[in-house]
């Protein structure tokens, strides 16, 4: 490897290329980009172009609007499936732990367990924690296969929102049912009405946000601990030249939780010293990184777009991946170095990687094998090229912490936040979330947007790779309040929080739903989420999961701005429904802007409109 490693890619390799180069050499198909390419049957694939007579409909007669709606809905279904299958895995581990069948795991946050049980209507008095946990786990696991009624957490939404969903007929009945029905409806010759398709997509997305994702977040908190603010480091510079580097990557923290413990075991540390290392350094990529960061302060090596670059340092003894956002190129890149790539989920094998299957019952043994193999790999290292520098971040703002930090120990609640919004010191709250995408100036769009928002007194909540990107720009430290507008700065300095709050991984966008609901319940900012000056934005999205997240926010009454490109742009009719008509139904809507400044303007306009509708004073300038 004669190449230098830079921070965002663009480095050639003898055996292949990195993501940014592959993106450059493969411009997207313009028809697929606009969402009007259909391959739902083998009379096609049909590439429909609205306005061109000979290509105005597919072979079966499907319009561009219907194809775009179906493709969008299938993205929602896939995103919902991904988050929810993560939630299912956690629920199964939760039950195994409650039954004492998962060595190495315990129920860490027992207060949250009891609170959650009460929320679910499960009796807690006089019962052992494990008994309560069994009842909680069984009830939530049943939400996946339920056929009728409504999923459990729908009841947590504001009453007005629940009524509205009921009127629209989009209350999720069961998580798996909505995903299956969405795939059925969008197969050849079934649902052709764009509005009908997109409303079922809303129901499916709600099964994600208020279902699968929320189950993942809540049960992970009970199992592994509810995050509290902590300081840590971010960027490739967290890798250590003198230590065994193990990177965890993906989304499910179930095995990484044990890797954290095992990497601290005396025998492992002794073995590392025997092999010439001074210790074992665990670091993360993507959302697994966010999970172990929030609960253990494990440093973050990088975002989705830095996964190959981490290997290019030559300093990684093992990368341990689970599910989602793991590039299949990793084994190819790793072949140029000594790095082991271990896949650990039977759902996600990659040719060229070694598979060490995770199982609740034997997870501790697997974790030990991985750490031992990584240590034994240390002497095989070649040249190392770790980019200098890493920066501080503060992470771990769960709903519970916000409640406590903003409200104080004896008076916890969202009152101070609501008051700050009401008096205009905080203009509103925007969730800036999601991926990095090599089709745009990766990282820069996120950063420029977040800087503009905080400057204009918007409190930013962040998750996923968006949070990692903001952290790399040093926006996740209390000192960043100096870059905020006067009102937001005052609040941040009084409470000691950054102007951008790291709230976790992709599934933890469910924390944002809970926070929005808590704002409503606190009072003074309307009776429904759609009235709160709040919005969402995924400026560099790429994953189907981002579409599911966006659609559950829209269905929950929140405007959502996407960057990069909009996936139904090829159909003006479907896009109009998502951008305009849906607002009359759910109170939320989709918007699209490519440039960060334009995104900020759209978001701020939306916050100001909501402020005006509530009769609030204009926000601080
Ligand atoms: Fe073409 Fe219709 Fe088949 Fe889609 S379902 S591929 S539009 S024939
Ligand atoms: S990991 S979904 S690239 S945020 Fe959640 Fe990052 Fe997007 Fe994957």
Structural element, H or E, at residue 591: strand 590-592
Expressed in angstroms and rounded, the spacing between residue 55 Cα and the centre of ligand 1 is: 12
Instruction: Report the pLDDT value the prediction gives residue 18, as an integer from 0 to 100.
Output: 94
Q: Output the CA 40–ligand 1 centroid distance in Å.
A: 6
Over the chain, what is the mean pLDDT?
Answer: 95
Tens of pLDDT, residues 174-214? 999 999 999 999 999 999 999 999 999 999 999 999 999 99
Least confident piece of the model among 8-22, 119-133, 154-168: 8-22
Average pLDDT for residues 351-366, to the nearest whole number? 96
Q: How far is the CA of 170 from the centre of ligand 1 (A)?
A: 27
Q: If pLDDT is split at 50, 70 and 90, which confidence band does 621 have? A: confident
**Domain spans of the chain, in order of start:** 33-224, 236-380, 396-614
pLDDT value for 6: 40
Residue 7, pLDDT > 70, answer no
Each residue of 401-422: pLDDT tens digit? 888 777 655 557 889 899 999 9
- Across residues 533-553, what is the average pLDDT? 98
Where are the strands (E) in 414-467, listed by range?
A: 428-432, 458-462
- pLDDT tens, residue by residue, 274-330: 999 999 999 999 999 999 999 999 999 999 999 999 999 999 999 999 999 999 999
Backbone angles phi, psi at 248, to 5 degrees: -105, 140
Q: What is the pLDDT of residue 9?
A: 43
Report which protein residue has its CA nearest ligand 2's atom 7: 435
User: What is the Cα–Cα distance from 172 to 165, expressed in whole angstroms?
Assistant: 9
Task: From the CA of 464, give the closest atom in ligand 2.
Answer: 4
As beta bridge partners, residue 300 has 234, 284
Average pLDDT over residues 488-515: 96
Q: pLDDT tens digits for 560-607?
A: 999 999 999 999 999 999 999 999 999 999 999 999 999 999 999 999
Q: Find the 28 Cα to ligand 1 centroid distance in Å.
A: 21
Q: How far is CA 496 from CA 220, 466, 480, 499, in A?
A: 27, 22, 11, 10
- pLDDT of 612 higher than 90: yes
Looking at residue 410, its pLDDT comes to 52
Number of CB atoms found within 10 A of residue 187's CB = 13
pLDDT at 5: 43
- Is pLDDT at 2 greater than 60 in this prediction? no
- The pLDDT of residue 405: 73
- Matching fold, domains 236-380 and 396-614: yes
> What pLDDT was estimated at residue 411?
59
Ligand 1, atom 3: closest residue by C-alpha: 41
Q: Sign (positive/negative) of CA torsion 205, 210, 216, 220? A: positive
- In this structure, the strands spanning 37-38 and 318-321 are unpaired
Pocket test for ligand 1, best of 45, 55, 187, 570 (most atoms within 8 A of CB): 45
pLDDT band at 8 (very low <50, low <70, confident <90, very high): very low
Dist. CA 200–CA 214, nearest whole Å: 20
Residue 463 has pLDDT above 60, yes or no: yes
Q: Report whether residue 465 contacts ligand 2, using a CB cutoff of 6 Å.
A: yes
Cβ burial of 407 (10 Å; 0-12, 13-18, 19+) is: middle
Determine the topology of domain 33-224 in CATH.
Answer: Substrate Binding Domain Of Dnak; Chain:A; Domain 2 (1.20.1270)
Q: What is the pLDDT of residue 408?
A: 55
CATH 3.40.50.2020 at 236-380, yes or no: no
Would you identify the CATH topology of the domain 396-614? Rossmann fold (3.40.50)
E-strand stretches of 339-413: 340-343, 354-355, 391-395
Residue 12's pLDDT is what?
Answer: 41
């Amino acid at each position: 490897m004669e190449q230098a490693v830079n921070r965002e890619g663009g480095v050639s390799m003898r055996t292949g290329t990195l993501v940014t180069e592959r993106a450059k050499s493969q411009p997207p198909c313009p028809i697929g980009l606009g969402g009007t390419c259909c391959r739902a049957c083998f009379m096609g694939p049909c590439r429909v172009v609205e306005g061109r007579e000979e290509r105005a409909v597919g072979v079966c007669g499907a319009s561009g609007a219907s194809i775009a709606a179906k493709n969008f809905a299938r993205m929602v279904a896939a995103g919902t499936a991904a988050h929810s299958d993560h939630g299912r895995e956690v629920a199964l581990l939760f039950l195994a732990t409650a039954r004492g069948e998962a060595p190495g795991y315990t129920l860490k946050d027992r207060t949250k367990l009891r609170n959650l049980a009460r929320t679910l209507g499960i009796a807690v008095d006089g019962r052992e924690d494990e008994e309560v946990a069994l009842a909680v786990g069984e009830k939530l696991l049943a939400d996946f296969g339920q056929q009728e009624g409504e999923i459990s957490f729908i009841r947590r939404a504001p009453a007005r929102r629940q009524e509205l969903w009921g009127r629209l007929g989009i209350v999720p009945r069961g998580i798996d049912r909505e995903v299956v029905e969405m795939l059925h409806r969008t197969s050849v010759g079934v649902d052709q009405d764009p509005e009908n398709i997109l409303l079922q997509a809303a129901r499916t997305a709600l099964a994600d946000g208020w279902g699968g994702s929320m189950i993942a977040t809540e049960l992970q908190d009970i199992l592994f601990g509810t995050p509290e603010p902590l300081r840590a480091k971010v960027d490739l510079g967290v890798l250590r030249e003198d230590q065994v580097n193990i990177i965890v990557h993906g989304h499910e923290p179930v095995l990484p939780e044990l890797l954290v413990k095992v990497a601290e075991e005396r025998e492992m540390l002794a073995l590392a010293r025997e092999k010439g290392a001074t210790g074992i350094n665990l670091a993360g990529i993507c959302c697994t990184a966010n999970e172990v960061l929030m609960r253990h302060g494990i440093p973050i090596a990088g975002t989705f777009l830095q996964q190959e670059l981490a290997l290019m340092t030559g300093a990684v003894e093992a990368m341990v991946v689970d599910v989602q956002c793991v590039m299949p190129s990793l084994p190819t890149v790793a072949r140029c170095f000594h790095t082991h790539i271990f896949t650990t989920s039977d759902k996600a094998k990659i040719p060229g990687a070694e598979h060490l299957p995770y199982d609740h019952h034997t997870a501790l043994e697997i974790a030990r094998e991985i750490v031992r193999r990584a240590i034994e790999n240390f002497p095989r290292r070649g040249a190392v090229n770790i980019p200098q520098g890493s920066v501080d971040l503060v992470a771990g703002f769960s709903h519970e912490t916000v409640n406590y930090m903003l409200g104080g120990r004896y008076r916890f609640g969202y009152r101070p936040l609501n008051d700050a919004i009401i008096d205009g010191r905080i203009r509103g709250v925007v969730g800036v979330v999601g991926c990095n995408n090599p089709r745009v100036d990766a990282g820069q769009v996120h950063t420029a947007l977040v800087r503009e928002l905080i400057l204009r007194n918007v409190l930013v909540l962040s998750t996923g790779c968006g949070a990692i990107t903001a952290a790399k720009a040093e926006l996740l430290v209390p000192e960043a309040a100096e870059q905020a507008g006067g009102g937001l700065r005052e609040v941040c300095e009084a409470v000691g929080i950054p102007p951008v709050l790291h709230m976790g991984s992709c599934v933890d966008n469910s924390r944002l739903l809970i926070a929005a609901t808590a704002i409503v319940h606190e009072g003074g900012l309307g009776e429904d989420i759609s009235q709160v000056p709040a919005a969402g934005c995924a400026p560099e999205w790429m994953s189907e999961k981002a579409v599911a997240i966006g659609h559950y926010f829209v269905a929950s009454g929140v405007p959502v701005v996407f960057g990069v490109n909009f996936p139904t742009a090829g159909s003006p009719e479907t896009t109009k429904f998502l951008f305009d008509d849906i607002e009359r139904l759910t109170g939320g809507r989709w918007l699209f802007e490519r440039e960060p400044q334009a995104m900020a303007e759209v978001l701020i306009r939306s916050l100001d409109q909501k402020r005006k509708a509530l009769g609030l004073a204009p926000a601080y300038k």
